[in-house]
Homo-oligomer: A and B are copies of this chain.
Amino acid sequence: MNTKIARRDFIKSGVAAGISLSGTPAILQGKDDREIKLGFIGIGGRGTGMLKTTMRLPNVSVTAVCDTFPKNLRAAQALVEKTQGLKPESYGDHELSYLDLLERDDLDGIVICTPWELHLPMTIAAMKAGKYAATEVGPASSVNECRELINTYEETRVPCMLLENYCYFRYNMAVLKMVRQGLFGEIIHCTCGYGHDLRERIVLGKGTGPTSKGEGDYRSTHNEYRNGDLYPTHGFGPIAQCLNIQRGNRIQQLTSTASKSRGLRQWSKDNLKADHKRRNIRWNQGDVVTTTLKCFNGETVVLTFDTRLPRPMSFMYQVQGTHGIWMQDGDSSSRNKSVIYLDGKSPHHQWESFDSYQEKYEHPVWKSYLDEAEASGHGGTDFLEMREFVSCIRDKKTTPIDAYDAAAWMAIAPLSELSIATGSAPVAFPDFTNGAWMTNKPIFGLG
């Protein structure tokens, strides 16, 4: 069976036989033991983590791995062989070896954990090869690339999934449930972002790919040449769910403003020897990028990208409506601690801890997961998203974070660059749904 036939079959089963577009989410459905075969493209630091997570899933095998860095390939093969008993075939002789992997006729799905600029091209290639594609998060390189993702989906009907694990955060799913139950009233304003001190990583690189630490990597390159919100989806994804972006709502426009670029240079000066070859790089990327989005339904979102200055980690989540507000707290455990104020319920003008609300409004996905987790001990949002991806493949369903989500969320990056490059001029946001946003319904975290 060649991939063309496979793709034609897929389209048939998808469109004619009907990929289920609604109903109980895959993640909540009963067991189906059909084995799902996955191929991994990119098995550096993040890819290895996702590979380990994936192999915890029942009835999933990894039969092919691809990386242009031989050390990564060997390690991944050994890891898979040790875990599942069979050594996956390896690909990686050249930059386009992943296309050979995609030609395999045994693969049901592809997981992509490569450098940022490869995410969308590889996702598109996987869909064209008739394989469900899951891609790690990052920025789009251009709006055109996002458009091509949509065109590919609409031509092939092969689903893809953006692996935005932050949508699966326990507190984000509880807040989403509360939003949908109307606890906050009509949603008016949200904030979100990615605040993470990555100075060393950006200047020196991670060393988990073909370049050693000290030589920089893809993240370094993007920071050296680009200037925009290069990591919008961790912040924006969960907020997009609360605002029904492209499912009854749409981003109308954005403005973006970058601060000066000093953090990486200062860190290099403070930490690298005078003759270190990465000490005097001229970084284009501003230290803090602030993007303000306006939605067609009138909501505003402030998105912050802040990875080049010293700071404790924060995702800056805030969801504010006519009847209440929820926000991450600023204290030392900010990622897992948040506060809430509900009009007429909370003590007058006083924040409450979110803890009791978390318990009361626990999302069903987390309710069942916590029960399981106590027994099996596997952990976290990566597991939840990979389990859902595999369930979608198994049930031939569309994914809960789909091509339209990926396109819109990742497009924030090039659009923010355009706004910054034109003095914070407002930039109209493309409609990737071609008008369907007015009638589309939410697909994430249902039930």
The residues of A with any CB-CB pair to B shorter than 8 Å are 185-186, 188-189, 197, 253, 255, 257-260, 262-263, 266-267, 286-288, 290, 292, 294, 297-300, 302, 304, 306, 309-313, 320-325, 327-332, 334, 338-339, 341-343, 349-352, 423-426
Contact = CB atoms under 8 A, between A and B. Distances in A.
21 contacts: A185-B266, A186-B266, A188-B262, A188-B287, A189-B306, A197-B349, A253-B423, A255-B255, A259-B300, A260-B297, A260-B299, A266-B323, A267-B322, A286-B300, A292-B424, A302-B302, A302-B304, A309-B322, A327-B330, A328-B330, A425-B425
B294 A424 contact: yes
A317 to B, nearest CB: 11
A334 B322 contact: no
Contact of A300 (B253, B258, B262, B343): B258
Contacts of A298: 259-260, 262
Given A292-B257, A309-B321, A327-B330, A287 B189 contact: yes
Nearest to A263: B322
Contacts of A309: 188-189, 320-322, 325
Contacts of A343: 310
Contact of A310 (B306, B311, B329, B341): B341
Oligomeric state, in number of copies? 2
A267 B323 CA distance: 9
Nearest to A266: B322
Contacts of A260: 188, 297-299
B424 A351 contact: no
Given A299-B260, A424-B292, A426-B424, A351 B188 contact: no
A322 B262 contact: yes
A339 B349 contact: no
Nearest to A323: B310
Closest 4 CB pairs of A and B: A260-B298, A310-B343, A189-B288, A266-B322
Max chain B Cβ within 10 angstroms of own Cβ: one of A310, A352, A424 = A310
A319 B86 CA distance: 54
A348 to B, nearest CB: 9
Nearest to A260: B298
A319 to B, nearest CB: 11
Max chain B Cβ within 10 angstroms of own Cβ: one of A189, A260, A426 = A189
B332 A331 contact: no
Contact of A334 (B186, B299, B325, B351): B351
Max chain B Cβ within 10 angstroms of own Cβ: one of A257, A304, A339, A425 = A257
Contact of A288 (B263, B300, B327, B339): B300
B290 A292 contact: yes
B188 A288 contact: yes
A267 B186 CA distance: 12
B425 A299 contact: no
B330 A339 contact: yes
B310 A324 contact: yes
A75 to B, nearest CB: 28
A145 B298 CA distance: 31
A178 to B, nearest CB: 15
Nearest to A426: B424
A201 to B, nearest CB: 13
A288 B318 CA distance: 13
Contact of A329 (B288, B311, B330): B330
Contact of A325 (B186, B310, B331): B310
A255 B427 CA distance: 12
A313 B349 CA distance: 7
A423 B424 contact: no
A186 B310 contact: no
A425 to B, nearest CB: 6
A325 B330 CA distance: 12
A443 to B, nearest CB: 25
